[in-house]
Structure 1
């Protein structure tokens, strides 16, 4: 064994070390020897899970009973945080050298004080509404709040690392001092008093107990619990085995299976680190076996696991936060996030395929065709879609014919399907993960794997049904999915025992209850860090809303970029990446969206680019999660290196290189929002066809981008060929970039024509206003772009409906401050309407006809044909 191999062997962690790594980051590494203490921690976690299920729906079932009090958000949020704080100090040691086999006295004290400060808000919510939340906090309330903030920051440090604690502490200091030699004049302010800061951050519903913690309480817990129960039932292993059965026989098959398996577990997981360790312990050794280096094997697992955080429906809890921050429905968030996530995963599978071609890697077992596998997947999805729509039609018909018995018929149908799936599964042995280090690796067969876990698909279908068909809230949908999982965990083993006529029914039933309890405890422990993160991140959100930093950060970015929009976006991406260092997905998104999302929108408007708010939020979210990949922090890269034995820094850089597609996507959907289906109505046939076209073209373009960055297409690429592939991919992604240079998209008219153009505009169209005026803070002239949508209001009424006040003056169209509480008053609040220089409408832009932008696909495809022609001469192996 050479020195390099010895080093890798020394870096490689044992299974116990890996589980300790996951528990240290996700659920707490403390494992008390005392049975009473262990039972107390487990009991608190179980109570937390039961409390969350209770407030999700059952409390309303018994709300009319005199002894049942309906708990509102002013009480559920403090209880949620109280349990999280208590468990944080009992489950997470203070430092690496702190005892793990018992709970020190100081941790007991912190757990009690932390829970007490949160329960203070729970018990005295009515009194706080009369005093602190009315601007009259008492001294005792202030001191309780100050203690609560300090304990929360310490809990954050323990469960999440120092990053969020430091950031939150800096924001509190900035809020208090307001100005100083470390604070740029652009964001300086007078400073807030100690009492007002504590009142905002702890006693009101703006800070710690604000929207982020509310989302954690109402939505996130149930989805994390659902994922935990699904994994405990055996679904995680089922997904991995399915991935290996379908992809293991291809070139680089273990890596492709790692990508698909991580995508499946990412659907229900909120932790990229847990995803890396869960799937990586099996996939990484197999990747190394077929020829991937330790660093590349780890990098593939990191890229696929981190990408799980952009995959709906959970998106590391960011999906639910976007609902609250943006003010759109949950289904809208899923709609906008779906295509970028899917094409990113498809591209990663292709990147792995190219790596296998470059190294001429063998397949595990008999080699199979990637094209035939993709065709089977397409047929499978098409058949599933037809069946799903048939079920929707059948349920609709049943409800119209027999509405009273419809719920009972549906319940009986689900029960029958469940029993039939178990009957099929009971005829086969239980799935077990093979040893990836065994001398002979036997890949699972799809026909043997699929029947063993069909019942795991039922709760996922229930979740999708309630979300997409019934249009219920995410909380209610997750509640019914959790109920389904509870039923499966309790009954699957006893029913299988009966069907197989072997084993004790009582033992199987007891095992099922134990699995349920273990799953609920695991789900609650996995929520500790998320709950603490959302509470601590609320400090940042409140500071942004109460100080100038939220509105003036755009000016700082504009100054650094010199007014160039692309450089502005690069800087915003870098800031998002830096702000996300060391933060879990949820806290990461809260921090970067609070600071940077509005910056993207306002800077785009200044340059004449109208950026949808959802695109801005997805932009900063994509860059924020890249912090899990990128050195020097890159927690997921360190976890993968611990599994592979590779160098963590090299693993991180390789993973970042593989993730370039995830870095490129945000820029693309900023310039072409159609990529996130913005403005496309999926309720019409035309909208569905447009979405299908966007998906196909974007997928093809992303595959070309991946080939360009990997330096391999049909053969190893020359530099000009890679550049040509990048150009083709860019043209397919953003054809309007070239079209706008050939045919301007707007007819520009003077601002004085606004009223006339507004009255002449057709309903359903829009106008763009270029508005210029002095900045309210700096006094310097600035510019922004407003969009005026034209509805079917009478032409003479349109101007008054906008809330804009115009003051025509010779050849200029001056403006007064818009009517308060209107869309444009918010958009123009950065302008000084009472300074020396007036605010004016510089010009009006009216859309004009252009040729179809798809025309530019023709030269792009011709250029692609040239690259293919040159590479075919050098091609030595099949491309797929």
Structure 2
């Protein structure tokens, strides 16, 4: 493919990450300090793998050591202020904080029996270590995640302590300092609660999975595959952005990181083709944010949903599938209509990659397909993640042509050997046979080629990616602990329902506003914990199923990344596109209109979540009407379909689209009637029939003409 796309330089990408993603602004360490950090990150990953496979630890020990690793590495890698990021030195006070973090992280390990047998009573040493743990978590969160969630966590602590002084329904008897410290660090309801439990198990392993995928070159392959499939279509680069960002979402838990990595490639292409800067940035921001809504990974927050709702992961992934398809369909349709409206065509032949070479590498998608297979087979999430990592290592081996035949032969031998063994002992399991073959191949690879370097680098990168998640989930544990101790969640839920006078739509609207505000500036995992704790109970009080309520707040917590005035993903895209940030955010919000509509629809009618869907015919009908609805809404908002959509057609188009998305017989009849009439008008109404000039798009231009 031609290199004329003027992709954004690595230095520019790094600058944007540091500005808009706190997790991207680490110190540039050199010399022995860099080696210490490298060893620490590697040890973190090895500890997590060891405790997940060989020697499971008691919950409190696993979680506290997990937090300890995170705190130590954050204080070594994240400076106290942005000014110190470029310096390769570590301040003396950061070394001191790292040493104190070791004390906090190992305290449960050394005093486990004493703490468990104390029945909740604290010694003086316990109190000081617990208080220190809270302070270290808050400071680490400020550095690695940002100020918003840190302020929220502090506000909750203040609320817990000064409960008697709170006004109105917020008043409670207050929690004294001893009980507050005890609940925050010496129970499984505070820092060591559900959020950090999920971080120390599911999330960490899937972050490692993502790191191994990156090492295999899957990220770049997503771009090449997207260009091959969509590059020559109308407005091709915008569709490439949508396609690649949806795939990138499977390996990135951050909207900002997704924007910068894929946007550095797609935004220059869109600008070169002729898209406005703000529109190009908006497309990338909307698509990248939606990557966290797309199964199977879903920005790692889905793993928290498992614990909060009590359903299996596959149930969540299936429920999220149709809303995610509609989200990306909506963006695809609107960019298509915008391209037709402005007369933009696709990429030229010279800018397209070699189709044969791209399709020869389809095996790079095997790890993602393997994860889906493992999860759908009923395998536990942790085991699926571990086997996904092994599959990724196998795929990385297949990239090496020198030993490819050897590795394929080893895989076949391992599969055949397991098959023979299983048949002789009774019973054959396909998944187990695949895993056995992968393990044999990996062992052979180390004998032939010593493939350790890439694996070690992936372990280090995965641990580095996890640091922000550790801090965010630990701080979120503080919030959840206060909510549990004070009963605040139910109070806020009741107040939202009361404010809405018990009306479902108003309650959903207020909950949406709360989720967007709480989600501003917070990473996916943290904003889901906050919104599910504070906002979701209000929806559940109305009789909405737990899964629908949690997905509702999950959607709006994520969409906060593209909702002005604080739209970090859109601002990052504006940095890549050199566009005006607020306008970029408004374009992203407009393109992602489906995300503001669909959650209301699946709460009001759960069939969109595949709840109560009994047949394939019913599922196909729901998809057909919903996609038709997105076409109508896209035409109404963009103002173009097969010809210009006149002002008197645009409002009916949006109304008809909403009717089609809502899955009921009456709304489908109304929506389809409007859809058919508008479609007929697009072809039948001519200038000489009604005296309205038919809009003619500009002559299509190629990227070379741009």
What range is the shorter-chain TM-score in?
A: 0.7 to 0.9
Alignment of 1:364-403 (within 5 A): 364-365=347-348
Secondary structure at the aligned position of 1:633 is classed as: coil
1:98 aligns with 2:98: no
Q: In 2, Cα distance between the equivalents of 1:509 and 1:90?
A: 37
Within 5 Å, which residues of 2 pair with 1:285-684? Answer: 285-365=268-348, 442-451=351-360, 453-469=361-377, 471-489=378-396, 492-493=399-400, 495=402, 512-602=451-541, 604=542, 610-680=543-613
Tell me if the contact between 1:85 and 1:152 (Cα under 8 Å) persists in the aligned partners. yes
Q: Residues of 2 paired with 1:457 and 1:295: CA distance?
A: 32
More strand as a share of residues: 1
Distance 1:201 1:511, change over 3 A: same
**Residues 260-313 of structure 1: CA distance to partner in whole angstroms, max 9, x if unpaired?**
000011012111111111111110000001111111111100000000111112
Residue matched to 1:117: 104
Q: 1:178 aligns to what? A: 163
Residue segments in structure 1 that go unaligned for 5+ positions in a row: 1-8, 60-69, 367-440, 605-609, 681-685, 737-852
Q: Cα distance 1:57–1:200, how it changes in 2: closer, same or farther (>3 A)?
A: same
Q: Is residue 50 from structure 1 mapped to residue 36 from structure 2 by the alignment? A: no
Alignment of 1:76-225 (within 5 A): 76-98=62-84, 100-131=87-118, 134-180=119-165, 183-225=166-208
- Matched with 1:868 is 679
1:251 to 210, 216, 234: 234
| 1:718 CA drift (Å) | 2.7
Shift of 1:463: 1.7
Rounded to whole Å, the distance in 1 between the matches of 2:398 and 2:50 is 21
| Superposition TM-score, scaled by structure 1 size | 0.70
Cα deviation, 1:562-596, whole Å, max 9, x if unaligned, reads 44321221111001100111100000100000001
Does the aligned pair in 2 maintain the 1:463–1:481 contact within 8 Å?
Answer: yes
Distance 1:221 1:509, change over 3 A: farther
Whether the 8 Å contact between 1:309 and 1:316 is mirrored in structure 2 is yes
Do the aligned partners of residues 856 and 32 (structure 1) sit closer, same or farther apart at CA in structure 2, a change above 3 Å counting? closer
**Structure 1 residue 733: deviation in Å?**
2.5
Distance 1:255 1:659 in 2: 14
Show structure 2 runs of 5+ residues with no match: 1-5, 408-443, 686-693, 701-706
Give the CA deviation at 1:27: 4.9
TM-score normalized by the length of structure 2: 0.87
Which aligned runs of 4 or more in structure 1 are off by greater than 6 angstroms? 497-500, 505-511
Per-residue deviation, 1:446: 2.7
Q: Return the offset for 1:72.
A: 2.3
Distance 2:621 2:344 in 1: 34
C-alpha contact (below 8 Å) 1:248/1:254 kept by paired residues: yes
Cα distance change of structure 1 residues 269 and 509 upon mapping to structure 2, 3 Å threshold: farther
Contact 2:551/2:599 (<8 A) preserved: yes
Backbone CA RMSD of aligned residues: 2.5
Distance in 2 between the 1:161 and 1:526 partners?
A: 15
Instruction: Return closer, same or farther for 1:521/1:280 CA change in 2, 3 Å cut-off.
Output: same
Structural mapping, 1:640-789, within 5 Å: 640-680=573-613, 686-734=614-662, 736=664
Kindly state the Cα deviation for residue 490 of structure 1 after the two structures are TM-superposed.
Answer: 5.5
Whether the 8 Å CA contact 1:576–1:592 is kept in 2: the answer is yes
**Alpha carbons of 1:169 and 1:704: their partners in 2 closer, same or farther (altered >3 Å)?**
same
Q: Which residue of 2 aligns with 1:271?
A: 254
The structure with the largest alpha-carbon Rg is: 1
Closer/same/farther in 2, CA of residues 46 and 510 from structure 1, 3 Å limit: farther
For residues 690 and 649 of structure 1, the distance between their equivalents in structure 2, rounded to whole angstroms, comes to 41
Considering fraction of residues, name the structure with more helix.
Answer: 2
For 1:32, which of 29, 34, 39 is the aligned residue? 29
C-alpha distance in structure 2 between counterparts of 1:642 and 1:498, whole Å = 45
Cα distance in 2 for residues equivalent to 1:557 and 1:71 = 41
Judged with a 3 Å threshold, the aligned counterparts in structure 2 of structure 1 residues 858 and 600 are, in CA distance, closer, same or farther, namely: closer
Q: Once the two structures are superposed, what CA deviation does each residue of 1:444-501 show, in whole Å capped at 9, x if it has no partner?
A: 13322110x23323322322222112x111100110111222344456437458899x
Q: How many residues align?
A: 646
